[in-house]
Structure 1
Amino acid sequence: MKRTLVVGDIHGGFKALKQVFEQAKVTSDDKLIFLGDYVDGWSESSMVIQFLIKLSEQQECIFIKGNHDVWCEDWLSFGKGEEVWLFNGGKSTVESYKEYSVEDLELHLEFFQRMKNYFVDEENRLFIHAGYSSMHGPEKEVYSSNYRWDRTLWETAVAMDKKLSKNSELYPKRLLLYHEIYIGHTPTLHLGIKHPLNKANIWNMDTGAAFTGSLSIMDVDTKEFWQSDPLPSLYPNEKGRNQD
């Protein structure tokens, strides 16, 4: 039976990606939706991208673009990375590309350029890296950067009164647009949670793989999920993203 699997922020954790694929028993029949931030953090960012390029040739994959992916795309395009990017994991990404040929770099750049800002499936489920601020949905978003940076969508869901009915005039109009919304970008670790977290109709799949957490993959229909070991245990000689 074909499954739709959604994958949280990877941040260069190729070992974790391989581990959750094995745990979830991913096959070529599965549809895979990745929520972005494939790079920056652990030492195998370029290997993650190389793997995903080959994976997309074998099965149906949707790749959403995250804020870290925009930074990496700019570096691949212009050969220079912003200081804020280098400080937030970019240095490890640059290092991972040290042995790549010009041709391979161009292939990876094309991969980043093909990524989507967001995706809506046939069940009216939205997949987006961060969020959107428009009450009319992401297609009406004035600032496209919100697709990759907005935290207000998730903050709204977290702060909502659980007793608030969808029929209430106070129910956030942004949340009524979709059956479900899947995001990354804001680690659930901020709320002390290590697994995919549901608030209102939003599922947050960023379980802190960039830091001390794990990488998560979930079946969007059954809500069964699988997680890698915590990333520091997979990369014991590294510090991850922006950690002292």
Structure 2
Amino acid sequence: MNKIILCEGETDAILLSYYLGKVSGWAFCKKSPVNIAIKADSFQESVNWYEKGEDKLLICAVGGKDNVKAFFNKKVLKPIVNAGSFSRIALVLDRDDKEVGSMESHASAIFRPVISSMINNKWIENTYEDAYGNEQTIEALLVAIPTEHQGALETLMMDSISEDPYDAEIVKRAGAFVKEMRDVASKYIDSNRQELKAHLGVTWAVQYPEKVFKLMNEQIQSVPWEKSAILHKCFEQLENI
């Protein structure tokens, strides 16, 4: 069976591929199934296949939250409607300042007419009409991150880092430093989202000073996220995709 995860950006895709590889045994696969041709059109997008036994998993970074619907309509909708190419679809989104209820409604609207209902952290079976007029089923899952409060992927990662009391103090003080620097460095930190990214960056610079110049994917893959109880709680349903 083929499954697909859509997430906002490359950082999300890297973390998910690492985590699901360690926890659920998904391994990178160079070849896509012969009947599915979904490709990235820009540097902001990524499309990578993974396999586990006879199952295949496609993890797609769509190039930002505002591009999810366009990506789905352009690249994923036809393979589902025309060929039933995926049995499960998951959407991973930052909560930012939104309530989960509004995110569920928004996610359901993004995937119409294939999906009519999505619930956070719960697989829901949906029915749709395929290109030949037959009724088909597909399971859908929304994962809003973090799990228990507003924020984004960086928030989730710092929550995970803070499970260790020693590192929690580093996260706390790095946040205070970045908040103070925001007024001084407004040219570079001009939004709450940039402040959040800087907060994670400073945390890592303190934890791993020798790795400061490594690429983001190397930074992410150097942390044992699979041991995190917070990530397990957030991605528990994804672990069974």
Q: Same fold (TM over 0.5)?
A: no
Structure with higher Rg: it is 2
Please give the TM-score of this superposition, normalised by the length of structure 2. Answer: 0.33
Select the structure that is richer in helix. Answer: 2
Structure number with the bigger relative contact order (C-alpha 8 A, sep ≥ 6) is 1
